[in-house]
Amino acid sequence: MTDTNQPQNDSKNNSAKAKVYKEGGLIRWSAIIPFVIVMALGAAYFKLFFDSHMKAGLEWAGYKALGTEVNIGNFETSFIKGNVAITGLEITSAEQPDFNSIELGSIRFDVNWDALLRLKFVVEEMSVENVQFMSKRKYRGKVAPPPPPSEDKPGLASQVKDKAIGKIDEKGKGNLLGDLSAFLQTGDYKAQLANIESQLLSKKMANDLKAKWATKQTDWDAKLKALPKESDFKSYKVKFDGIKVKDFKTPQELDASVKQFNALKSEVDAKLKLVNDTKNEFNADLVQIKKDYQGLDEQIKADVASIKDRLKIPKIDSKQIAKSIFMDYLTPYLRKLDKVNELAEKYLPPKYSKMVNENLDSKTILAGKKKKPVEKAEDDTIQPHPRAEGVTYEFPVKSGYPLFWIQNIKVSSKSNAQVDYGDISGVIQNIVSNQRQIGKQTEMHIAGDFKSKNIQGLKVDAYLNNLKDEPAAGMDFAIASYPLQAIELMKNTDGQIAMQQSSINIAAHAATVGFKTYNVGLTNVFNNVQFNLAAKEKVVEEILKNAFSQLTSFDLKAEVKGELSSLDVDVSSSLGDKLQDALSASIKLKVDELNKEIKLKIDNEIGKVKGEIEKQIGTLTKGYLGNANDTQAKLDAQKNIADEKIAAAKKDLENKAKSQLQDKGKKALDDLKKKMKF
């Protein structure tokens, strides 16, 4: 045995047992068996519990998202077939929890496996059947309490309402009848007008302005006195005339004259500067006095409006009447828009919800503030050194899908003897995560009737277009005929205007571009109308009855346009026109007389002072500014004369030098001729 073999033998002897390592077969059964068990448990879960858990999850998520109870009758999925079936989907109405705002009999769809293997969710056709609106629930649905109103974000409804009826009307909202009664009851307005003198803000303002500009006038006089006078101009003329302008014998003589001219010109320039400064001051004062005059005019208008409000003079304007009668009727529609905005802000993809959010942040917009960019917090966590990223090549996609795409949803329902689902048919196309990839916009077209509810000619056409730079969305909604329950348009202690059951035709449209500008319109035509009219004052009741007795049909048009921060609201109605006509006939004379009286009162109180301010404007424009302009023109003329004289003197010397040179040249030539004996 050699030394080198010794360790090998030793190790073989010593660790013979340790070196026998269990090698086993090729497959690692100890891993596969637990894996199969886990998979089997997973499959069992999906078979037995997944559907019920999904159902509960969707009901919970639906309640959280919509704020009203959502119920699902049955939820079934098949992973092998790739299909989903939901039956009995009910969404509770927030306003009437005993009813569903919508109930869908069944929703069925197959998932596209080819897309699923690319981790894309694509549904080629989804069918939604047995649609019902306002169906009775088995039990009262749960409705989440409304969130507290945000001070920062006034809702669309409140913004529009504020805009439409204004703050003055808001105080006595729906009090057209009260104003009318009060106006007709009150007899002697002259006595009331006599006492308002002390309350006229415009009178105080006019007196203040008068005093302010009277003081100013003293300043103007002083400034005008400091300007050059006729004697100054004469003295300049004498000085200019005294300076030699011709027959210069030497250039030194000319130089002395030019210096004298320049010295005199500097003096004129200094005066000219004084005139210009004074003129600028006069101009600034003129701008200010005109501004003050405008302010006074506005204050007078505000005073007149305040007097009319105090005397409760009804506004005989059909649009104003329509607004005060119908704003309560329109508010629920606007609240729905608020709800849509809220949902859009919460659930639209971040890109769009940000747009909605930015536009809704009206407080910031109104204050003219720009949002500060959110500074990113510095990331001080330890980052692993990244591997190089390489180049990722994009090959032509021949069978690609967007991340999420429901190509077609067929909506249909047909009434039968047992249940009135309504006869509805329609399609919703291309609900997609990326419209540009498929080059199509999302569209919805639904039409139908609900005979048992007497709703006929329902039509909804909507779109969402994200193919261009700015997303656009719009909807047209129409109902040919819809029974309207009795409603109270106006009711207070002074009387009421109510309508008994009628039929209504609705046409509405809504559109937005970039979630910045909105255009929402509603046209309602009320047919077969019968009014319930009552008023505390007989005269008022008579006016109302005369206006409405023959009226069986009228329309209501509402239009909200523009950006959220500056919405333009327009409400008009033929009912307003009718009432305007009736009021014009009955009270116009009295209103006109009173308006005349108010004008007279204002003219008496403020007219004189206003006239004085006007006179001051005239004096400043024609008198003071005119004087300054004249002085400036005269000084300019003096300056021009000086310039002309300097030029003439220079020319004279130049001519003289030239003739002297010519004479000398001629003499030299003659001498030369003589020498040459020519």
Q: Does 187 participate in binding another protein (rule CB under 8 A)?
A: no
Q: Which is nearer to another protein, 402 or 521 (CB)?
A: 402
Please work out the total of residues on this chain that contact another protein, with binding judged by CB under 8 A: 38
Q: Does 60 participate in binding another protein (rule CB under 8 A)?
A: no
Residue 444 CB, nearest approach to another protein (Å): 31
Q: Does 469 participate in binding another protein (rule CB under 8 A)?
A: no
Stretch that binds another protein, among 5-13, 247-255, 259-267, 367-375 (CB under 8 A): 5-13
- Are the beta carbons of 103 and 131 closer than 8 angstroms? yes
Residue 441 CB, nearest approach to another protein (Å): 26
Taking CB under 8 A as the criterion, the residue among 1, 5, 27, 417 binding another protein is 27
Q: x/- contact string, 34-53, with another protein (CB under 8 A)?
A: -x------------------
Residue 162 CB, nearest approach to another protein (Å): 55
Taking CB under 8 A as the criterion, the residue among 3, 23, 375, 469 binding another protein is 23
Taking CB under 8 A as the criterion, the residue among 8, 198, 218, 250 binding another protein is 8
Q: Does 393 participate in binding another protein (rule CB under 8 A)?
A: yes
CA–CA distance, 82 with 61 (Å, rounded to integer): 23
Taking CB under 8 A as the criterion, the residue among 5, 21, 372, 550 binding another protein is 21
Q: Shortest CA distance to 275 belongs to which of 639, 625, 616, 637?
A: 625
Residue 28 CB, nearest approach to another protein (Å): 5
CA–CA distance, 123 with 407 (Å, rounded to integer): 6
Stretch that binds another protein, among 186-194, 390-398, 526-534, 651-659 (CB under 8 A): 390-398
CA–CA distance, 386 with 336 (Å, rounded to integer): 50
Stretch that binds another protein, among 25-33, 220-228, 594-602, 603-611 (CB under 8 A): 25-33
Q: x/- contact string, 111-140, with another protein (CB under 8 A)?
A: ---x--xxx---------------------
Taking CB under 8 A as the criterion, the residue among 11, 549, 604, 659 binding another protein is 11
- DSSP-derived letter for residue 572 is E
Q: Which is nearer to another protein, 378 or 394 (CB)?
A: 394
- Are the beta carbons of 573 and 327 closer than 8 angstroms? no
Taking CB under 8 A as the criterion, the residue among 191, 382, 397, 417 binding another protein is 397
Q: Shortest CA distance to 494 belongs to which of 540, 458, 448?
A: 540
Residue 559 CB, nearest approach to another protein (Å): 51
Taking CB under 8 A as the criterion, the residue among 231, 250, 392, 485 binding another protein is 392
Q: Which is nearer to another protein, 7 or 146 (CB)?
A: 7
| Helix intervals (H) in 226-361 | 230-241, 251-310, 318-347, 350-360
Q: Shortest CA distance to 206 belongs to which of 294, 286, 304?
A: 294
Q: Does 15 participate in binding another protein (rule CB under 8 A)?
A: yes
- Are the beta carbons of 203 and 520 closer than 8 angstroms? no
Q: Does 439 participate in binding another protein (rule CB under 8 A)?
A: no
- Are the beta carbons of 73 and 100 closer than 8 angstroms? no
Residue 114 CB, nearest approach to another protein (Å): 6
Taking CB under 8 A as the criterion, the residue among 381, 383, 399, 416 binding another protein is 399
Q: Does 31 participate in binding another protein (rule CB under 8 A)?
A: yes
Q: Which is nearer to another protein, 12 or 259 (CB)?
A: 12
Residue 7 CB, nearest approach to another protein (Å): 5
Q: What 3-state class would DSSP assign to 461? A: strand
Any idea of the CA torsion for 56, 61, 67, 68, to the nearest 10 degrees?
-30
Strands 404-413 and 423-432: antiparallel
Q: Shortest CA distance to 307 belongs to which of 595, 609, 600, 603?
A: 595
Stretch that binds another protein, among 88-96, 336-344, 387-395, 587-595 (CB under 8 A): 387-395
Q: Does 454 participate in binding another protein (rule CB under 8 A)?
A: no
What's phi and psi for 126, nearest 5 deg?
-120, 135
Strands 135-136 and 99-111: antiparallel
CA–CA distance, 83 with 108 (Å, rounded to integer): 7
Residue 384 CB, nearest approach to another protein (Å): 11
Q: Does 400 participate in binding another protein (rule CB under 8 A)?
A: yes
- Are the beta carbons of 411 and 427 closer than 8 angstroms? yes
Q: Does 198 participate in binding another protein (rule CB under 8 A)?
A: no
Taking CB under 8 A as the criterion, the residue among 389, 550, 676, 678 binding another protein is 389
Q: Which is nearer to another protein, 30 or 195 (CB)?
A: 30
By CB atoms closer than 10 A (0-12, 13-18, 19+), residue 579 is buried
Residue 120 CB, nearest approach to another protein (Å): 10
Q: Which is nearer to another protein, 149 or 396 (CB)?
A: 396
Residue 10 CB, nearest approach to another protein (Å): 7
Residues with Cβ < 8 Å from 56, sequence gap 6 or more?
none
- Are the beta carbons of 126 and 406 closer than 8 angstroms? yes
CA–CA distance, 445 with 463 (Å, rounded to integer): 9
- Are the beta carbons of 583 and 320 closer than 8 angstroms? no
Residue 390 CB, nearest approach to another protein (Å): 3
Strands 517-527 and 502-513: antiparallel
Q: Does 19 participate in binding another protein (rule CB under 8 A)?
A: yes
CA–CA distance, 316 with 322 (Å, rounded to integer): 11
Looking only at residues 67 through 96 of this chain, which bind another protein when binding is defined by CB under 8 A?
none
- Write the single-letter amino acid at 331: T
CA–CA distance, 276 with 628 (Å, rounded to integer): 8
Q: Does 388 participate in binding another protein (rule CB under 8 A)?
A: yes
CA–CA distance, 530 with 552 (Å, rounded to integer): 6
Stretch that binds another protein, among 21-29, 326-334, 359-367, 515-523 (CB under 8 A): 21-29
In DSSP terms, which residues pair with 554 in a beta bridge? 526
Residue 408 CB, nearest approach to another protein (Å): 22
CA–CA distance, 175 with 425 (Å, rounded to integer): 45
Q: Does 674 participate in binding another protein (rule CB under 8 A)?
A: no
Q: Does 10 participate in binding another protein (rule CB under 8 A)?
A: yes
* 23 membership: H or E segment, kind and range: none
Q: Which is nearer to another protein, 118 or 310 (CB)?
A: 118
| Helix intervals (H) in 536-624 | 538-548, 574-602, 608-618
Q: Does 396 participate in binding another protein (rule CB under 8 A)?
A: yes
- Are the beta carbons of 105 and 421 closer than 8 angstroms? yes
Q: Does 678 participate in binding another protein (rule CB under 8 A)?
A: no
End-to-end CA distance of the chain: 153
- Write the single-letter amino acid at 467: L
DSSP characters over 596-608: HHHHHHHIIIIIH
Q: Which is nearer to another protein, 118 or 451 (CB)?
A: 118
- Which residues contribute to the site for another protein (CB under 8 A)? 7-8, 10-11, 14-15, 18-28, 31-32, 35, 114, 117-119, 387-400
